[in-house]
Amino acid sequence: MTERPPPKAVFLKAAKMFQERQRREREYKKRYGEVQPQVAVPAFGKRMVAVKNRIYHGDWKFLTDFLRDYVPMVFGDDWCKAELAKPLAERHPVTQWRTQGAVYMNAQPPQPDGSRVAPFSGALAAYACFAYDLYIVDNNAELDDALVQRLKNPEHFQGARHELFAEATCLRAGCSVQRENEKDGGNRHAEFTAKHVATGQLLSVEAKSKHRAGVLGRPGKAVEKPDLRFGELINDAVAKNCPHPLVIFLDTNLPFKWAERLYSRQYGPTPSGVMQPIPSRAMQTILDRTKKEHNGVDSYSMIVLSNHPHHYAPDDLDPQKHLFSVLPGQPPANLDALWSVHKAAGFYGNIPAKFALDDADRPVPVIPPRPKVRYDFIVNRTDVTVTRDAQPTEHKFSTKDKDRVQVSSPLHDFLESIGFSRVDAHAICQPIESGKTVNGVMGDK
């Protein structure tokens, strides 16, 4: 008996469903990198989530709900209970972020379904990004026990957190990751070796984070003007004499205001006359000094400089992050592999709202836009007074304080503090300094 093939309409429907799934997979990777989509299915009125070879079961509508509970499941109940028993200021940074984020969300008005939505605060973003990086490494590679122990230790957390970011970035870039044998005390090692699967390029990856007093669990009081010296961190990475082309992930750990000055780009002509972005003067000084210390040779294949200043504004709206990658003139590594790593570093903070590709019909919560606040700068001779939403403020400035490239004016600093970039702040300062009242400047806070 010959079996009849399914009707043509069945084949067409199956082909359409397959093409749609492929399209969603391409869109997913375009936004989140070369990592596995979440495996999650509804079960018994709740949700089952697979992470590598483990299954979690809980009342999670969205991935962010799962990430909220995922960190305690990895770190352990005993560790979490011990942290929560401490005063907030003495807790591990991760538990501080979780608590501060919960307070922020609980202050938001409830939606008709009882949920609460809002733009990320600094603490909420710090916790969610950390949890998602932890999940990416756990689900796509091997979450090293030694790394988890360092993450749980407040003294080692900052460096381990940046190492976690570097590993998650390489996984998003389509790399496999092989950790070094840290028990081999005879040699110094990079954090891990990354193999870019598409090109076969091997990269030695080193992660460095700038320690600063008063943040990320470091003792002391934060300084008003942080230093911009990073040569020692770069030199330490280079000194390891890694076996493969070296990629250094460098966390500059700066408040937004100072990061904006370091990372802001200008434009200049190439030898052919084409305008292209060039590093800021501060960034170029760092790169020139590093090259000089190594006899005029760039001793790396790429430096990925990043700044994620969530922890500088835990209770305020999450500050803007920065990214800048530096390559020597002729990097000793495949350019496609290096470009993939740089591009993947920009995926940091992209966290899927929905659980999986199969959740196509589940509505995504609509996050309200950041509120805008109107400022008017009223000039009376040389005095500048400020109103906020038509209400007087205590802020006072003078047109005699001129804004300069190297030394910003108090008015410029204020404009940056309410969300303006360095370039935009300078543009607003110019007419005010010339004696003109400026109305309707819309700040973020």
For residue 357, pLDDT beyond 70: no
Helix ranges (H only) for 228-320 are: 231-238, 256-263, 281-293
CA 439 to chain centre: 34
Do the beta carbons of residue 127 and residue 102 sit within 8 Å?
Answer: no
What pLDDT score does 150 carry?
95
Pairwise pLDDT comparison (303 vs 41), residue with the higher score: 303
pLDDT band at residue 323 under the 50/70/90 scheme: very high
Compute the average pLDDT of residues 348-377.
73
CA-to-CA distance for 29 and 165, rounded, in angstroms?
Answer: 18
Residues near 294 by Cβ (< 8 Å), separated by ≥ 6?
238
Compute the average pLDDT of residues 243-272.
83
Compute the average pLDDT of residues 266-294.
72
What pLDDT score does 370 carry?
66
In tens, the pLDDT along 54-76 reads 999 888 888 888 999 999 999 99
CA nearest 328: which of 274, 272, 290?
A: 290
What pLDDT score does 405 carry?
67
CA-to-CA distance for 36 and 43, rounded, in angstroms?
Answer: 21
Residues near 178 by Cβ (< 8 Å), separated by ≥ 6?
192, 193, 194, 195
**Domain ranges, ordered by start, for the chain:** 133-345, 373-443
CA-to-CA distance for 310 and 317, rounded, in angstroms?
Answer: 9
What pLDDT score does 280 carry?
80
For residue 201, pLDDT beyond 70: yes
Average pLDDT, the chain: 86
Indicate the range of 216-220, 264-268, 302-306 predicted with least confidence: 264-268
For residue 79, pLDDT beyond 60: yes
Compute the average pLDDT of residues 260-289.
73
Q: How many residues appear in the chain? A: 445
In tens, the pLDDT along 368-378 reads 666 788 899 99
Do the beta carbons of residue 337 and residue 327 sit within 8 Å?
Answer: no
Instruction: List beta partners, residue 55.
Output: 50
For residue 132, pLDDT beyond 90: yes
What pLDDT score does 404 carry?
81
Compute the average pLDDT of residues 372-399.
91
In tens, the pLDDT along 158-169 reads 999 999 999 999
CA nearest 119: which of 349, 318, 374, 322?
A: 318
What pLDDT score does 2 carry?
60
Give the chain's end-to-end CA distance (angstroms, integer): 76
CA-to-CA distance for 312 and 260, rounded, in angstroms?
Answer: 14
In tens, the pLDDT along 223-253 reads 888 988 898 999 899 888 889 999 999 999 9
Buried b (16+ CB within 10 A) or exposed e, 92-116: bbbbbbbbbbeebeeeeeeeeeeee
For residue 1, pLDDT beyond 60: no
CA-to-CA distance for 70 and 76, rounded, in angstroms?
Answer: 10
Do the beta carbons of residue 309 and residue 129 sit within 8 Å?
Answer: no
What pLDDT score does 262 carry?
87
Instruction: List beta partners, residue 255.
Output: none
In tens, the pLDDT along 16-59 reads 777 777 787 788 888 899 998 888 888 778 888 999 889 998 88
What pLDDT score does 199 carry?
96
In tens, the pLDDT along 283-297 reads 888 888 878 877 777
Do the beta carbons of residue 221 and residue 213 sit within 8 Å?
Answer: yes
- Give the helix/strand (H/E) hosting 384: strand 383-388
What pLDDT score does 142 carry?
87
Do the beta carbons of residue 108 and residue 117 sit within 8 Å?
Answer: yes
CA-to-CA distance for 107 and 121, rounded, in angstroms?
Answer: 12
pLDDT band at residue 419 under the 50/70/90 scheme: confident
pLDDT band at residue 9 under the 50/70/90 scheme: confident
CA-to-CA distance for 210 and 230, rounded, in angstroms?
Answer: 7
Compute the average pLDDT of residues 345-367.
73
Compute the average pLDDT of residues 340-366.
78
CA-to-CA distance for 58 and 44, rounded, in angstroms?
Answer: 10
pLDDT over 70, % of the chain: 89
Compute the average pLDDT of residues 79-98.
92
What pLDDT score does 60 carry?
87
pLDDT band at residue 187 under the 50/70/90 scheme: low
Highest mean pLDDT among 94-98, 263-267, 318-322, 405-409: 94-98
